[in-house]
Structure formats: structure tokens, C-alpha cells
Chain A
Amino acid sequence: MTQLVLGQVLNGAIIGAMYGIIALGITLTFGITGIVNFALGEFMMIGAYVTYTLAERGMPYPVAVVPACLIAAAAGYLSNKAFFRFTRNNLVNGLLVSIGLISIFESASMLLWTATPVEMHFVLPGALRVGDIGLPKMKLVVFAVIVVVIVATYFALARTWLGRAAFAYAQNPEAAMLMGVHTPRLETAVMLYSTGLAGLGGALYASLYSLEPAMGGVYVLKGMEAAILGGIGSLMGSLWGGVILGVIEGVGSIFLPTAFRDAYGLAVLVAILLFRPSGLFGDE
């Protein structure tokens, strides 16, 4: 039993990191620009399918990840220019635009790739065995990449002028603009980065799981949970929120029915929000 639980703690942490990368996109977009982008899962889907398409046509997987992120970011840029920039600080409008975009992107991917699930060739087959615990090697790589990306994003925002500008914009856009921050450009940069991150999440996802047009929906909800659990606006909180969520789901599934796996994370989220309404790492 100990091995089973330990295995799920490790596995949950890895899965949670996947939630974390979407959570990071959510926390950046909402925390800085005030835009609610529930369609982030669709940018993840774009990244996943682009990676799959390129990799199956012979492009090495690490190379295919780059255009996947760029295409997802480009789709994010267009979505921002066409819709999202008009929804700043308006939850309902952001939600409506997101629902519309989810429908459009899902239908487009149905046309392009059909509803048939597709699975990429194994990028890194096999599992690392420690006692009775088996951890797929690719999952470990994915975990490492996500941790590096989130930590790098944290330092980039905490230690650079751009990061300070972003935080200033989040606190008071008018004041930030008066202090020389080019706010429309900043907003675009945040959108590009968050959707590019979602594209990266999708590219990593494609190396682990099968793809289908509706895949984004589940992950954006998990990302949302992770972002709220970690505290909206907290970059490291998004990683920790995802990891905690993943571990709760994994370990909960050992002792309780797996049919309600999603509920375990939600129950803990509600319990934590009762005591810390701004999340574990959010500002009070």
C-alpha cells in the first residue's frame, strides 16, 4: 500500500504540473490584464495537434514543439485582437467570448483532424522503476520542463523591468501608462505568452496522451482550479496549486472510488478557500 500511495504522490505531482502550466496562463492573463480566457484549453489543443501533425510527418519532437507554441500564440494574438481586448475586467463578456471560441476551435479541429482520437508515436518509451513504482520516463521529462518554465517565468517577472511593468499594469493601468508603460503592447505580450504557454502545455500533453478535439475543456477547468487553489496572480502558486490538485486526485483515487476523482480536488479547494479565500499563495 505504501508503494501504491508513494507512486501516486509522484505521479500526481507530475500530472499536477500539467495543470500548473495552464494555471500559469490563467493567472497571468487574469492577474495582469484582467481578461478571463476560458478558451486557454483550446490553445493547448492547437499546440497538441500541431505537435502531433509535425512529429508524425517526421519532424523531431523537440523541434515540433517550437512551431506548436508559435501557432498557439498566433491564434491567441488574433483572438485577443478580435475579441478578448474588448472584455477586460468583464467576466461575463470574457466567458461569452471564450465559449464562442471554444466552439469555433473545436469545430475547426474536427474538420482538420476528425473526432477520431489520435496518438503520437512514443517520444521516450519506457518507465523508470523504483521498487514497485513505475514512472514513465516521458512524464518525468514533462515535469522537469514545466518546472523550469514556471520558475523562469517567475524570475522573468520578478527581476525584470517588463515584469515590474506588468505588475504595475495589473494594479493600476492608467498609472502604469502615465509612467511610460505601453499598456496595449503589454496586454498583447501577456496574451501571446499565456497562449504560447498553453501551446507548450499541449505539445507536452501530446507526448503523453491521445488527442481529441474536446481535450481542452477538461484541462482548462483543472487549470482554473489550480490557479484558484494557488491564488490568482501568484506564479509559483499556479505550480503548487496544480501539484497539490494532482496529488489529491491521485492519492484520493487509491482510497476512494476513482469515478469521483475530480471531486476530491474540488472538495479540498472549497475547504482551503473557506480559510484562505485568496488561495494558498495569493495576497490576503
Chain B
Amino acid sequence: MIHPIRAFIATATALMAMVLVPAATPASAQDVVKIGQIEAQTGANAIYGWMSSQGAALAVDEINKAGGFKVGNKTYKIQLIALDTRGEPKEATVQLKKLVEVDQAKYIFGPFLSNVFLAVRPYAAEFNGKLLMWGGATRIHDYVGTPGHEFLMRTWNWDAGKNGFGELMVDNLVKTTGAKKVAMLFQNDQGGKVLEDIYVPMFKQKGIEYRLDYFEPGTKDFSAVLAKIGAWKPDFLFPSYADSYLYDIVRQATETGQLTKFFLVRGSLGPGLKNKDGIEEYMVYVPKYFEEAEKKDPKVAKFVKAYKDFYKRDFPYDQAPLCSASCYDHVYMLVEAMKKAGTVDDPAAVKKALMSMTYDGMWKIRFDDKGEAIFNFDVVRLKKGGALEVTHINPN
């Protein structure tokens, strides 16, 4: 039989522990900087988020294993709370609320998807000044640097804006190929509309004749629309923005010989390489041509090795935008900014530090006066048989 006094003491001790332990938590929590991440790690558009969450996790692991980082007299470790939005805006909003209100994360990585960003933006804006959101979505371009959106920074210089790669890519296309007729084939979603908004005015301005077709998300067989486009006889096909479609589009277009020249702004080299005997030309934007960079740049070689060791699989060289690599740099850049700002608790001060620095990682990353990242990228031209030509572009 349990002695009543002992039972009372045990219960009281347990209760005291329950009360005191949470009270003690904030003291230890001060030594941890929480970074929340909202990205689609699964689902049809997972390609961007899945890769970026890998890059961030790798950098966090490296920093923590090295003992953390020092700001003032304190050493901090990073806790990455990466949540899978599945590309669903509602899901992402709930997750962001959890990160901000429950986990009290002040730094949010993501989202890369515009539809998700548009959904979470109003909520995030309520925390303006108390939060720093680092997203790669194209639609962030419309809001970053505007009043009420000081919490926002755009980590990827996608096609939009003067520092985006869209203009540079189209210039490159016209200059190197003399293309006059371009057929666009985008998926019927927010990403497709974003591309329409960016490239239709650009083609008009440059006197390029264009046609635009949309396809249903989830489509795997493009033979009907490709036959339609093929009958129009364009100089280049400008297809989609996700490898999940590009592999099929390029294969089906070249298999029947209908279309053999491709111009891509957001896909990978993979579909071109896979169909290298069927293509005539495959021009693609890549943030970095890793096969080459790995041999020339020790930082890239170190990253690729770390990736292979950490994930115990080969590096996905043919992966779409390799956002993983950029997020790896972003974690380190954020840490540098915290050190420079002398605080981990003041996102506004950290943002100020970020805006004034250039991070020299795998990319040389800096931000313009609005808070949009500017960094170098590569254009790869793949020719029939697999011959490659790489152009390195450094935006001013």
C-alpha cells in the first residue's frame, strides 16, 4: 500500500516540476533561434519546396554540429521547424499561425509558391516588424518593399523585375537564335499566370510573335496540345515551369518530331539531356551549372559532398532550380546578419543588416533597396547529341 504522505509528496513534487519546468524553458530557449519553414515538400509542386527544405536542414545541421554561432556573449543553436504545406494555401496559413503563435519563430523561410504566398501574406502582414519572411515566390515581387510589407524579403530573383532573369533570358534568346515565333505552354494555375504576366509583355515589346496555351495541372499526355502547337510552327517552345511536366512535354514533342527547340526559364537540364538525340536546341536558365561549378569552386564541391553525406544519396544534378542550394546559403547569410546586427530577437535589425551585406557563399547574394535578392546565374544551351554551352550571367 502506498503511504499517503509519500503519495502527497510525490504528487506535489510532480506538480511543482510541471509548473517550474515550463518557467525554466524560456531561459534555455534564449539559446535557440527558431527558423520556421513553410514549403511544399509533397504534392505536385513539391519540387521547389522539397529541395529548399533540404538545403536549409543541411545548413542548420552543419551550424549546430559546429557548436552553434555567437552573437554578443551568447552562443546560439538553430531549431528548424520545417512544415509541409503540400502547396495548399489553407494548410500553409494554419502552419504559419502555428509557427508564429505557438513556436514563436521570428524567421520564416518560404514560401516558394505564389499561390501559398498570396494566402499567407495578410496574416504575416499583421506581424510586420516582428517577423522576417524570406520567400522565393514570384508574387512577392509585387509586395516586397511596399508599405506594410517590411517583414518581407524575396530570396530568389526569378524572372520578374529589373534584376530578375526573365529579361536577360529573352535577350539572350533573341540575340543567340534570332527567334521570332515562340509558343508558350503553361499549366493553368497561379504559376502559369505569373509567367503569362511576365513574358507576354516582354515578347510584345521585343516584337516576338507568340501563342499561349494552358494545360490542366496533372496532365501527363500532351500530344493533343503539342499537335496544335506544332501546326503553328513556332521557332521555340517555351514550356511549363516544373520538371514534373517538362520530362513529358520534351519527350512527347521530340518523339514525334513535332517540336525540337525549347526555351525554359524554370526547368532543369534533365529533360533536355534525356532527349538529347531528339532535340535541336534546349536553352535553360539554371541558378548554377553544378557539374561545372563543382570542379571549379571549392565551396560548391564542399556543399555537394555535404549533401551526399547528409542525405546519403547522390546529388540531384538534374534537379529543377536547385533551390536547396540557395536555402543553404540563406541560412548562413541569416546567421551572418544576426552577428552583424548583434541580436537574434529583432527581425527589423537583422533585416537592416541583411540589406547592407553581400554574402559570399555558393552564390554572391545581396539585396536591392526593395529587399529582392540579386545573384548570379547560368544559361545552358544544350544541342543535339548533348553538346553544352554555359553562359555565366552576373546581374548588375
Interface residues of A (CB under 8 A from B): 4, 7-8, 11-12, 15, 106-107, 110, 114-117, 119, 125-127, 134-136, 208-210, 212-215, 217-218, 249-251, 253-254, 257-262
B219 cross-chain contacts in A, Cβ below 8 A: 261
B244 cross-chain contacts in A, Cβ below 8 A: 117, 210, 212
Assembled-state Cα–Cα distance A221/B201 (Å):
37
Whether B216 lies near A214 (C-beta < 8 A) is no
Q: Could you say which of B38-46, B126-134, B162-170, B173-181 contacts chain A?
A: B38-46
Interface residues of B (CB under 8 A from A): 41-44, 46-47, 50, 188, 213-216, 218-221, 223-225, 227-228, 231, 243-244, 247-248, 251-252, 255-258, 274, 316, 319
B221 cross-chain contacts in A, Cβ below 8 A: 11, 15, 208-209
B213 cross-chain contacts in A, Cβ below 8 A: 257-259
Assembled-state Cα–Cα distance A208/B221 (Å):
9
A257 cross-chain contacts in B, Cβ below 8 A: 213-214
A114 cross-chain contacts in B, Cβ below 8 A: 50, 316
Assembled-state Cα–Cα distance A7/B258 (Å):
13
Given contacts A214-B43, A261-B215, list 8 more A-B pairs with CB under 8 A. Answer: A115-B46, A115-B47, A208-B221, A214-B44, A251-B224, A258-B214, A258-B225, A261-B216
Assembled-state Cα–Cα distance A253/B227 (Å):
10
A209 cross-chain contacts in B, Cβ below 8 A: 220-221, 248
A251 cross-chain contacts in B, Cβ below 8 A: 224
Whether A115 lies near B41 (C-beta < 8 A) is yes
Whether B43 lies near A258 (C-beta < 8 A) is no
Whether B228 lies near A136 (C-beta < 8 A) is no
Selected A-B contacts with CB under 8 Å, 18 pairs:
A4-B227, A7-B227, A11-B221, A15-B223, A115-B43, A115-B46, A115-B50, A126-B255, A134-B255, A134-B256, A134-B258, A249-B224, A254-B228, A257-B213, A259-B214, A261-B215, A261-B219, A261-B224
Assembled-state Cα–Cα distance A250/B222 (Å):
9
Which of chain A's residues has its CB closest to B54's CB? Answer: A114
Assembled-state Cα–Cα distance A11/B228 (Å):
13
Whether A116 lies near B225 (C-beta < 8 A) is no
B218, B257, B258: the one within 8 Å of A218 (CB): B218
B231 cross-chain contacts in A, Cβ below 8 A: 4
A11, A213, A258: the one within 8 Å of B215 (CB): A258
Which of chain A's residues has its CB closest to B274's CB? Answer: A119
Whether B228 lies near A4 (C-beta < 8 A) is yes
Query: Shortest distance in angstroms between B198's beta carbon and chain A's nearest beta carbon?
Result: 18
Whether B256 lies near A127 (C-beta < 8 A) is yes
Assembled-state Cα–Cα distance A12/B43 (Å):
27
Whether B248 lies near A210 (C-beta < 8 A) is yes
Whether A8 lies near B227 (C-beta < 8 A) is yes
B257 cross-chain contacts in A, Cβ below 8 A: 127, 134
Query: Shortest distance in angstroms between A257's beta carbon and chain B's nearest beta carbon?
Result: 7
Whether B255 lies near A127 (C-beta < 8 A) is yes
Please list the 6 inter-chain residue pairs (A to B) with the smallest Cβ-Cβ separation, ordered nearest first.
Answer: A134-B256, A259-B214, A253-B224, A210-B247, A115-B46, A259-B188
| A209-B248, A210-B248, A213-B42 known; A116-B316 Cβ under 8 A | yes
B228, B248, B255: the one within 8 Å of A253 (CB): B228
